[in-house]
Chains A and B, each alone.
Chain A
Amino acid sequence: MKIHIKNSRLIDPRNGINAISDLYIVAGKVAGVGDAPEGFNANQTIDASGLVVCPGLVDLSARLREPGFEYKATLESELQAAVAGGVTSLACPPDTDPTLDEPGLVQMLKHRAKLLNLAHVYPLGALTRQLEGRQLTEMCELHEAGCVGFAQTDAPLNDTRVLLRAMQYAATFGFTVWLRPQDAFLAQGGVAHDGEVAARLGLAGIPAIAETVALATILRLAAETGAKLHLCRLSTRIAVEMVRKAKQSGVAVTCDIAANHLHLTEHDIGFFDANCHLKPPLRSQRDLEGLREGLQDGTIDALCSDHTPVDDDAKLLPFAEAEVGATGLELLLPLTLKWAADAGVTLPDALARITSIPAGILGLDAGHLGVGSSADICIFDPLQYWKVEAKSLASQGKNTPFLGLELAGKVRQTLVHGQVVYQKP
């Protein structure tokens, strides 16, 4: 299949391309950029005038809810949502039911995902068995089955000796350990940032120190063990400062933040909006600014969606009882564009945070449009506004703090392996 995508604004952050140009695809791979390859005769031409063509987005965290939570969402619905959002590769956390701590489960998940022929799925394996924080998982077997890293997700790992050993073991084989810094004791019972809003609303607080105290331990252990560390979903200004210092002193650490935390604070909870019940919690304005500064100066490497579909009933409860999470795959692109516009960041710079940089963190040859790479492509209109509502979302999770709002940035087509897997109706 020979495809010619013409006249678009072609942006490939890794290869420094940002120009009106053409893209040529042959047999599912990028065959030419700018000039047509020898003897190219298009079977299909896509006129992308006025649109942006970029590498398919790489999302570091999207919960697909399988296995175990099929009533919330299925592999099929969420991978549809992924490609509707221009995401062609994603990493999914191991907090499924059963937990992704057995190679057989990982193989099955990868197999089922492959059959669907939508986005590429890269599972993260559990760092400890059942995520209980007591025993190590068979990281080598899991890696062979396809795990790209090992995560503890939101489950507590209080035993510092186990944490040390898990890092040492991962470091033995060069595996990356994915950790969201949270001290379970300090965060206990909390549902919102421990600050002015929680004080007024009478919500139990999760103080900033729950993140920074845990982060201090994790960074020290990483330095000691030499383990490759990826920090997930930072939320405080001080955590960003700590990561800056750690990077300066040579610790092998990368980190991400969720797109929601780039735009929202504790004040968005308003009158107890359960859609704002998230982990980590939405924090103060100062923290938000710290995250933005960190993303801008590169201390924070990547942006992810932290896609967590929740069924409607689970949100129809008083704030503290409502289930945590928000749908995000289809919002990753518009929220990234919104940040770029607010912060005066160029489009290639912004897109790098959701393409080449996360691909690098995952160790994948993805997130770029170099000749010979898999033709995973996102074609979008940066200026088209669309309303975030149940009927415009492909995901089964319809709950997001942005419900009812209009965002700019609409995906028109998504290609995986040179096949159109999503086309805007």
Chain B
Amino acid sequence: MNNPQLTKDGKLKHLLSIEGLPKTILNQILDTAESFAGVSEREVKKVPLLRGKTVCNIFFENSTRTRTTFEIAAKRLSADVVSLNVGTSSQAKGETILDTVDNLIAMHADMFVVRHAQSGAAHFIARHVPSHIHVINAGDGRHSHPTQGLLDVFTIRRHKREFHNLRVAIVGDVLHSRVARSEIHALTTLGVPEVRVIAPKTLLPADVERLGVQVFHDMRAGLKDVDVVMMLRLQNERMSGALLPSAQEYFKCYGLTQEKLALAKSDAIVMHPGPMNRGVEIDSSVADGSQSVILPQVTYGIAVRMAVMSILAGNPE
């Protein structure tokens, strides 16, 4: 099957999921992001790469955070940015996804950043856009959030340098998490030898080991000697959906506290994609503690998104 993300010569055409991307492309994005991290620290945070191009954020599912970071990233590349929060506009009037997309194409957009509540939505849109348009998946249902996965491994690389000797634990609702799936694919592709998932059975997908992870139901056992702890957000609906009894019990068994963190390596880093539920998946003292890299993650997110947009914009059709 043709990889829908790559051109015939193996260059990145769309960023739809981390799964299916070769290690060389992941590294290209991470290396390019290093340069952009420097740009963000300057007085003039802009470079002229995407000048004259229009980037459209089409968010069928709301998100102020992610949309804002994509907007900032595009503007720092000197692109013109249009943001469409479809929930409030034509989609609500019954317009189909393809009609919304076609209208934006007619307005000469060059790049779409898409977020949708359904898995596969970004692939679907990428199948239907003309060849000069690039699609970036900003999150599709439970499937994939590739820029988050990328910024997470970028963060790990910044703090740990090498991947080949790391133990990484991902804690929480893997079943419903597109972030978890992207993180798992990024880590395994980059050669992390041990990727652990820590969660109750109700929050793990069927056959999850096939993704290349080791399953732990006991958080203390799962955190032993890890170098990186990646926490996932727990949504309130999980309690009402008969997947968990209460937030309190979840915090007791799977919340990250100082005491549990001490089981990991002493220089282990703590990550979270945000927004955090303090006291549910993570204790405030850990979130604000010395091992937390949660705030830097946000900064790196802009550099990584700038890198993705630049690479896509520069690749020939």
Whether A and B touch directly in their complex, counting CB atoms under 8 A apart, is answered as: yes
Contact A199 B205, beta carbon cutoff 8 Å: yes
- Chain B residue numbers with a CB within 8 Å of A294 are none
B44 within 8 A of A: no
- Chain A residue numbers with a CB within 8 Å of B210 are 196, 199-200
Stretch at the interface among B71-79, B138-146, B269-277, B280-288: B138-146
Q: Please, how many angstroms separate the alpha-carbon atoms of A142 and B211 in the complex?
A: 52
Q: Please, how many angstroms separate the alpha-carbon atoms of A203 and B4 in the complex?
A: 19
Number of interface residues of A (CB under 8 A): 23
B181 within 8 A of A: yes
Stretch at the interface among B103-111, B116-124, B215-223, B304-312: B116-124
Q: Give the residue name and chain of the B residue nearest to A318 (CB).
A: B118
CB distance from A141 to the nearest CB of B (A): 41
- Chain A residue numbers with a CB within 8 Å of B120 are 201, 203, 271-272, 318-320
A367 within 8 A of B: no
Contact B207 A317, beta carbon cutoff 8 Å: no
Contact A313 B96, beta carbon cutoff 8 Å: yes
Contact A201 B119, beta carbon cutoff 8 Å: yes
Instruction: Mark out the residues of chain A between 73 and 115 whose CB falls within 8 Å of any chain B CB in the assembled complex.
Output: none
Q: Please, how many angstroms separate the alpha-carbon atoms of A205 and B181 in the complex?
A: 16
A348 within 8 A of B: no
- Chain B residue numbers with a CB within 8 Å of A196 are 206-207, 210
Contact A317 B144, beta carbon cutoff 8 Å: no
Q: Please, how many angstroms separate the alpha-carbon atoms of A142 and B185 in the complex?
A: 56
The answer, among B4, B97, B119, B141, for a CB contact under 8 Å with A317, is B97
Q: Please, how many angstroms separate the alpha-carbon atoms of A200 and B184 in the complex?
A: 10
CB distance from A418 to the nearest CB of B (A): 47
B92 within 8 A of A: no
Contact A320 B119, beta carbon cutoff 8 Å: yes
Q: Please, how many angstroms separate the alpha-carbon atoms of A203 and B205 in the complex?
A: 10
A16 within 8 A of B: no
A341 within 8 A of B: no
The answer, among B97, B124, B207, for a CB contact under 8 Å with A272, is B124
A321 within 8 A of B: yes
Q: Please, how many angstroms separate the alpha-carbon atoms of A335 and B211 in the complex?
A: 33
Task: Given A205-B206, A317-B124, answer yes or no on A200-B211 (Cβ-Cβ < 8 Å).
Answer: yes
A 6-23 binary contact with B (CB < 8 Å = 1; else 0): 000000000000000000
B194 within 8 A of A: no
B208 within 8 A of A: yes
Chain A contacts to B: CB under 8 angstroms: 194-196, 198-205, 207, 270-272, 274, 313, 316-321
Shortest beta-carbon contacts, A-B, top 8: A272-B120, A202-B142, A202-B143, A199-B205, A318-B118, A202-B119, A196-B207, A318-B121
Given A202-B140, A205-B205, A205-B206, 20 new contacts (CB under 8 A): A198-B205, A199-B205, A199-B206, A200-B181, A200-B211, A202-B119, A202-B178, A202-B181, A203-B119, A207-B206, A270-B1, A271-B4, A272-B120, A313-B96, A316-B96, A317-B124, A319-B118, A320-B118, A320-B141, A321-B118
